[in-house]
Structure 1
Amino acid sequence: MSDAMLRLSGVKKTYNAGRSNEVCVLQGVDLELRAGELVALVAPSGAGKSTLLHIAGLLDTPDTGRVEIAGTDMTGLSDRRRTIARRQDVGFVYQFHHLLPEFTALENIVLPQLANGVARGEAETRARQLLAQVGVVERASHRPSAMSGGEQQRVAFCRALANQPRLLLADEPTGNLDPGTSDQVFAALMELVRGTGLAALIATHNLQLAARMDRVVELNHGTIAARPKSD
């Protein structure tokens, strides 16, 4: 039995850019991620990497093709079942942290767990453990405005992993940080991923960071190809 956590098969996506002008963003994407694998996704600007991540993360649907997470075909599920699968099986990290400003770091990580039916005490314990793993547990009671950009993004990583997903998707998660902070934050992300055994697909323009992952794939002209890692 395959240990694939994510499998995209023949995924196509076309957008109508207005007046009979269609743009084919994805032209038959095939991609597989195994449990415990950290994969870099590189792509030229406008190539469709965000579209690909949104389809893989069940935030969008392909025109044709198949999306499987942990062996389950997600393509034809109802909106309700897709929402449940997203909450339980997928963690998403964006370039900007999108933390809820009125809540503390701890509360931002607790809330998705409460929505998933976890008891508050258990949710707070897990939130503190995650914050400790990325080195910001002392910021547990701080709101996002009182934290640095790097600290905010570490909290966002913890929130994405709060419900112990099988798949982590990240769209330029260090793209808004200076190089030194980016390196530190990425190291924290790698530690979290390695400690859980989930599959992770991370879009980045930083080829040095990409080279630290297990493999690199490139999205170009609507299809995926393996790319040699830079030294």
Structure 2
Amino acid sequence: MSEASGQALALRGIRKTYNLGLPTAVEVLRGVDLAIAPGEVVALVAPSGAGKSTLLHIAGLLDTPDEGQVQLNGTDMTRLGDRQRTLARRDLVGFVYQFHHLLPEFTALENIVLPQLAHGTPRKAAEDRARDLMDRVGVGPRALHRPAQLSGGEQQRVAFCRALANAPRLLLADEPTGNLDPDTSDRVFEALMVLVRSTGLAALIATHNLGLASRMDRVLRLDAGRVVPA
């Protein structure tokens, strides 16, 4: 059995370089090692442009490293074909971004139901799970409202529910409260923690907010292309 079989996410020696048309290539990640256990919430802090988004995209199988290994749920994902990567990403990973990216023509409930239908979940079960998730974060009464009818905090809480709709093993969040005012950011973060703690999944959350980061289980810093304890 793999040494990382007990980890929701394990990154080993991840390197990523971009040319960007410059005379010299930019080495963004320089041998990143990182492991997150099920039920663990880890903050990732770094200045803008340090490579946080690149690291999250590689961890979530949206991008591939130049070197190194990506393991999800104990399985090496590094050399999978596109179809296998897509299926693994669909089944194992949930994503949350700074902007909610909800589909504007659908209700909040439908935005959470649709990923489940694509996964093969029967509609009734999908709606029941969507309502349960929304109730946990206090937006159940807004189920039939479209995104434009929701506040920024409500939109982001619905986005959290959508990310967890298919019961992933790993949640990746990139500045999930970055476009919210401090009070709303605090409430939305609490809602996210309720979902994460109640489902027992692992979470890697990139944030500039050191106050929020300090409330997570561990804080890591991306420094000169490597991950180190903050």
- Say yes or no: TM over 0.5: yes
Matches within 5 A, 1:191-230: 191-227=194-230
Offset at 1:3?
Answer: 2.0
1:17 aligns with 2:54: no
Q: Which residue of structure 2 lines up, in the alignment, with residue 182 of structure 1?
A: 185
Letter in 2 for 1:33: I
Within the candidate set 76, 79, 82, 1:76 is matched to 79
Q: Residue type of the partner of 2:43?
A: A
Give the aligned partner of residue 34 of structure 2: 31
Aligned length: 227
Q: Distance in 1 between matches of 2:110 and 2:211?
A: 33
Correspondent of 1:148 among 125, 135, 151: 151
Corresponding residue to 2:170 among 167, 183, 187 = 167
Q: Distance in 2 between matches of 1:3 and 1:179?
A: 36
**Residues 9-36 of structure 1 deviation map (CA, whole Å, 9 limit, x = unaligned):** 0000000121542100000000000010
Q: Which runs of 4+ in 1 moved over 3 A?
A: none
Query: Could you give the per-residue CA deviations for residues 103-132 of structure 1, whole angstroms, max 9, x where no partner exists?
Result: 000000000001111001100000000000
Percent identity over paired residues: 72
Structure 1 residue ranges without an equivalent (≥5): none
Deviation string 1:163-202 (CA, Å, 9 cap, x unpaired) is 0000000000000000000000000000100001110000
Q: CA deviation at 1:220?
A: 1.2
Separation of aligned partners in 1, 2:223 and 2:148 = 37
CA displacement, residues 119-162 of structure 1 (integer Å, 9 cap, x when unaligned): 01100000000000000001100000000000000000000000
Amino acid aligned to 1:198: L
2:104 maps to which residue? 101
Counterpart of 2:90?
87
Q: Which residue, 113, 119, 124 being the options, matches 1:121?
A: 124
Describe the SS at the equivalent of 1:4. Answer: coil
Distance 2:112 2:128 in 1: 10
TM-score (norm 1): 0.97
CA distance in structure 2 between the partners assigned to 1:138 and 1:39 by the alignment: 31
C-alpha RMSD of matched pairs (Å): 0.8
Q: CA deviation at 1:45?
A: 1.3
Q: Does 1:41 align with 2:41?
A: no
What is the CA–CA distance in structure 1 between the aligned matches of 2:20 and 2:191, rounded to whole Å? 39
TM-score of the superposed pair, with normalisation by structure 2: 0.97
The amino acid that maps onto 2:91 is Q
